[in-house]
Structure formats: C-alpha cells, structure tokens
Amino acid sequence: MAEYKKVKYYYDGELAEDLAEKIQPHYPAFDKTMFINMIAYNVEDLELKARVNVFADALHTCLPENFPQAASILHKILGPENPNETGMFTEGYWLMPVAYFVEKYGLQHFDESVALIYEITKRHTGEFAVRPFIQQYQADMLAVMKSWSQDENFHVRRLSCEGVRPRLPWAKKLDMFIDSPELILPILENLKEDESRFVQKSVANCLNDILKDNYTTAMDVLRRWSQSNNKNTHWIVKHALRNELKKQNPAAEAIIKKLIDS
C-alpha cells in the first residue's frame, strides 16, 4: 500500500481486476468480466467486511463449484511467502477475500481448507478463517494448531495462537475456550520462548484474553512463566499483564517486580 487510504477502499473493482488476472491463467474458464462486474457494482456503499463478502461470493460464482478444485486453483495464485513480521493489511492484504472464501465455503472440506489456510497465513493471515473450523472440528483443529505451534514459519506459529484467542478482535468469541482455557494452554507452552516478536505479541494477547474470563488460570501461567530465565518469556509476561498494570493490580505488580529484580 504505497499511499494512505481507508483499508476498505482496497477491496474494489481494481482489486477484482488484479485477482481475475491472477486466476485466469490457472483456470481459463474463469469469467473475468462477470467477476469484476459482480464486485465493482456491489461494493461502493459497503464497509470492509461486507466488501470482502462480495469478493468471496464472486469467487464462489466464478470458480468451479467443486471446492477442492477451486482450492487447488487458489493455491496457485498465492505468490511468494511474506518474509516480514507484518500484519494482514500490508503485503498480503489482497488475500483477505481468498481467506474468507475458504472460511465461508470450505467448511465441509476439512483437509483442503486447512491446507489452504496454512499457505494463506504465510502471506496474509488465517486467524479468522480457522475459527469456524475450530468450532466444528474442535479436537482435530486443536491437534492441527498444536502442530502449527512448532512450525518453522513464524506466521504459522503465530496463527496457532492467534486463531485460538478466546476474544480475537473482529471475530466471534470462542466460548469453548472461555469455558475451558486449559484446552489451548499446550499451544501457548510451545510458544513461550519463541524468538519472533510477532509470535510473542500473539501469545501475550491470548493470555490477556484469558485474563478477562479466567483470571486465576492466566495468572497461574504468568507466575510460573515469570520464573523462567528466558528473555522472550519475560517479554510475553510483561506484555500480557499490561492492562492489569494499568489497573494497578498488586498481583501483576508483584510478578513484574520479581522479573525486574531477577
């Protein structure tokens, strides 16, 4: 994004043209004109999420009805992985409609969808797309997310945590993790010494989410982690407690004091 404009305006007819140009070489039957018109004439008065939904519906109309075949085509347009610790509205912003297409239309195709989300997140993010899959395939997705927490790619490791956040902004709450936060603690344990600040922030934010509904559980984790000698773990603890420190919570202040004194 070379010059500033509201994020929603990137999801317009021009982006539709770009996506069509990427897709058609891999699917010659793709109706570029229909795709572009479906988007250009329907997004003008819409906000961001509604615009992305229009894109996803247009992809659904213009790609093969068979989801695995559509997913295979979309795999081919993803381009190079993002080597930077940047968010979803930078290099890979144009993939947001692709991720939403998987989220909306791929739920009955677990293997193909999870494989595509895995690749999308290396370039954009899969943090929203994974959530319906977590809700429908909880045990299977927790196993996937735990394996992703040990992936060599830091974007994938971040997704393993960001995707299970109980209160992820812009997303529906994951009530199963509000009721049972212990389900996601093994993922966080795998990430507590991660070298990537991108991942560390996600872990801290996840713990901050847990603090809101399961204060004792999160504080027990943070007290235990504060006894570590790892500098990355210490950073996560401090960042996770930032809101508690603003509230001048004595328990949080005590944890931070021990970190400073150690």
Which burial class, exposed, middle or buried, applies to 169 when counting CB atoms under 10 A from its CB (0-12, 13-18, 19+)? Answer: exposed
Q: Give the model's pLDDT for residue 88.
A: 76
Torsion angle of alpha carbons 113, 114, 120, 121, nearest 10°? 150
Question: Residue 199 belongs to what H/E stretch?
Answer: helix 197-213
pLDDT, block means (10 residues), the chain with 262 residues: 73 97 98 97 95 98 98 97 87 95 98 98 96 98 98 98 97 97 98 98 98 98 96 97 97 93 75
- CB neighbours (10 Å) of residue 68? 14
Rounded Cα distance, 198 and 166, in Å: 18
What 3-state class would DSSP assign to 128? coil
DSSP string across 137-170? SHHHHHHHHHHHTT-SSHHHHHHHHHTT-TT-TT
User: Are the C-beta atoms of residues 20 and 37 closer than 8 Å to each other?
Assistant: no
pTM: 0.95
User: Are the C-beta atoms of residues 97 and 77 closer than 8 Å to each other?
Assistant: no
Of 90, 92, 83, the C-alpha closest to 22 is 92
Q: Give the model's pLDDT for residue 1.
A: 41
Q: Give the model's pLDDT for residue 3.
A: 55
User: Are the C-beta atoms of residues 107 and 65 closer than 8 Å to each other?
Assistant: no
CA 32-34-40 angle, 5° bins: 95
DSSP 116: H
Rounded Cα distance, 208 and 210, in Å: 5
Q: Give the model's pLDDT for residue 4.
A: 55
Residues in the chain: 262
DSSP string across 18-87? HHHHHHGGG-TT--HHHHHHHHHTTSTT--HHHHHHHHHHHHHHHS-SSHHHHHHHHHTT--SPP-S---
Three state DSSP letters for 236-255:
HHHHHCHHHHHCCCHHHHHH
